[in-house]
Structure 1
Amino acid sequence: MSDNQAILEEEFEVLESIFPDELEKLGESSVRIRIEPEEPSASHPLSLYLNVDYPAEYPDVIPELALEPIDEESGELRDGEEERILRELRTIAHPMQAEESLGMAMTFTVASAAREILAVVVGERWKKERDEEDRKAAEYEEKEAARTRGTPLTPATFNDWRKEFMAALKAKREREEEDRVKALPPKEKEEWKRRRDRLSGRQLFEQSKALATSDEALYEEGAAEVDFSQYSREQREADRRRAEEEEENRRRGLVADDSDNE
């Protein structure tokens, strides 16, 4: 048996005493050691096999190192993590070639370093996930704040709102008028049709214009004095409700007049 092989056999005996449950001998010149962070995390499990293959020149050269997943429950390495861990382990192993008692010291030190590096990897994963959760929370809070702030009132946004409001109000009146006519008795419905048909072109035009613009005066009159910075969403809603109520009262008054005339 060569001196190198004798040193390796002695190292195996020492490693078996240090890692009685974690060490598995794969051959005459290779082992694998189950490693995990010094403080395992239940939410981020990460246990791996550290495979060590000893060249014939060992311990004059460092052994070949590789990482192997154990199973799905033990966790897996993510992109770039395996290369990083092996690079750090080789960086630790290289200076040891110049030290005495290479065998046991090299494998044990590398395995211990692997445990520390896994702990760092788990901590970085946890921090990355926490930072992502904080980013999403901040983004959600910003969206909610923007939603509750509403749209700033400017002349352009006010005019857009007014056009939509007037169009919706006109459509609402037309639907109400259609429903009212449908509910009339046949005789009154015929009378309503005759009155409608007797209207001249000018009267029809004026009536249509009145339906479309009856509330415009509420906004046109004094429009130059509107202070947009003080015109809140609540005020717009109050004006809209008041306009609808006034129109409803006006319409009911006209219906009552027609009934009295008959």
Structure 2
Amino acid sequence: MGREEQIEEREVLESIFPEEITDISDTEYRIAIKLNPPANDHDEEEVEPPTLNLHVRYPEAYPDEAPILDLSPVPNAPVHPRFSVAGDKEQLLKGLEETVQENLGMAMVFALVTTLTELAEQLITDRKEAADREREEALLAAEHEENKKFQGTPVTPETFLKWREEFRREMEELRQREEEERLADLKKAKVKEAPRLTGKQLWERGLVGKGEEEDDEPPTEQVEKLKVAA
């Protein structure tokens, strides 16, 4: 009776998966399952959906006894960033155990394919959502650090006293610089003043030596008269 049910199930699966199913022996075959995970974000590189093989081997008492199952990658299939048959096989096979127990005594391979597809796609979805959360948290952290540049320090008595001390120090330094600059400007102005005249220059210019009785003659003529008298 078991063998008849096995043949019947194999024929049904042929009609459902005509291109995906491949016989290995009379009691063993594999079904290629192409997953349909969520689409990548616009900023992520588009990759081909992953595909895996479900290997099924009937024991003599199947379906009263569980089928022997295994998973393998499709040869030359592109690597998917969030799914690996080798890495996820143990978890996926364990996830099929409940479906096997629920369907003992009945043809169950189609139910196993459906469950396996859902489990694998959920794994990819969970990993994508985790990556999205990490990306969002990184963006929020970067935004928080950027906003901290524009946030002032909370004012407390301690911070106010510190600010006032710093402000007074800066004002005193500014006053000293201004005073030094003022003194420097005064020194420059004195250097630029006209040189002091000698006694002879003052005499020649008629600025000294006339006494109380001043005549109209220029100082140079008075000098000439003194020379003649001598």
- Please indicate, yes or no, whether the TM-score normalized by the shorter chain is above 0.5: yes
Paired position in structure 1 for 2:187 = 258
Among 47, 56, 59, the alignment partner of 2:60 is 56
Identity of counterpart residues, as a percentage? 29
Paired position in structure 2 for 1:41 = 38
Paired position in structure 1 for 2:194 = none
Deviation at 1:20, TM superposition (A): 0.9
> In the alignment, is the contact (CA less than 8 A) between 1:31 and 1:52 conserved in 2?
yes
CA distance in 2, matches of 1:153, 1:144: 21
CA distance in 2, matches of 1:72, 1:7: 37
| Change beyond 3 A, Cα 1:258–1:155 | farther
- The TM-score, its normalising length taken from structure 2, stands at 0.62
CA distance in 2, matches of 1:42, 1:36: 14
| Change beyond 3 A, Cα 1:251–1:91 | same
* CA-to-aligned-CA distance 1:50-78 (integer Å, 9 cap, x gap): 12222233222111222222323456338
Q: Show structure 2 runs of 5+ residues with no match.
A: 41-46, 192-230
CA distance in 1, matches of 2:133, 2:117: 25
Among 13, 16, 32, the alignment partner of 1:15 is 13
State the Cα RMSD in Å.
Answer: 3.4
> In the alignment, is the contact (CA less than 8 A) between 1:89 and 1:113 conserved in 2?
yes
* CA-to-aligned-CA distance 1:11-44 (integer Å, 9 cap, x gap): 322222210111122233222212234x443427
Paired position in structure 1 for 2:168 = 219
What is the one-letter code of the residue matched to 1:122? I
Among 148, 151, 156, the alignment partner of 2:150 is 148
What are the residue-to-residue correspondences of 1:120-135 with 2, within 5 Å?
120-135=122-137
More helix per residue = 1
Among 15, 23, 26, the alignment partner of 1:25 is 23
Helix, strand or coil at the partner of 1:126: helix
| Change beyond 3 A, Cα 1:35–1:219 | same
Deviation at 1:79, TM superposition (A): 9.6
Deviation at 1:252, TM superposition (A): 2.5
Paired position in structure 2 for 1:92 = 99
Return the index of the structure with the highest Cα Rg: 2
Paired position in structure 1 for 2:140 = 138
Deviation at 1:154, TM superposition (A): 5.0
Deviation at 1:91, TM superposition (A): 0.7
What are the residue-to-residue correspondences of 1:64-213 with 2, within 5 Å?
64-70=68-74, 71-73=77-79, 76-77=83-84, 81-98=88-105, 102=106, 105-154=107-156
What is the one-letter code of the residue matched to 1:115? T
CA distance in 1, matches of 2:149, 2:34: 47
CA distance in 2, matches of 1:62, 1:17: 23
Deviation at 1:260, TM superposition (A): 4.2
| Change beyond 3 A, Cα 1:7–1:151 | same
* CA-to-aligned-CA distance 1:61-104 (integer Å, 9 cap, x gap): 11122222232345633897433322221211112224xxx3xx
> In the alignment, is the contact (CA less than 8 A) between 2:37 and 2:125 conserved in 1?
no
CA distance in 1, matches of 2:3, 2:159: 86
> In the alignment, is the contact (CA less than 8 A) between 1:48 and 1:74 conserved in 2?
no
* CA-to-aligned-CA distance 1:182-220 (integer Å, 9 cap, x gap): xxxxxxxxxxxxxxxxxxxxxxxxxxxxxxxxxxxx716
> In the alignment, is the contact (CA less than 8 A) between 1:46 and 1:122 conserved in 2?
no
CA distance in 1, matches of 2:16, 2:147: 59
> In the alignment, is the contact (CA less than 8 A) between 1:36 and 1:118 conserved in 2?
no
Deviation at 1:244, TM superposition (A): 6.9
What is the one-letter code of the residue matched to 1:219? R
CA distance in 1, matches of 2:133, 2:173: 51
- The TM-score, its normalising length taken from structure 1, stands at 0.55
CA distance in 2, matches of 1:254, 1:158: 35
Name the count of aligned residue pairs.
Answer: 181
Helix, strand or coil at the partner of 1:41: coil
> In the alignment, is the contact (CA less than 8 A) between 1:35 and 1:47 conserved in 2?
yes
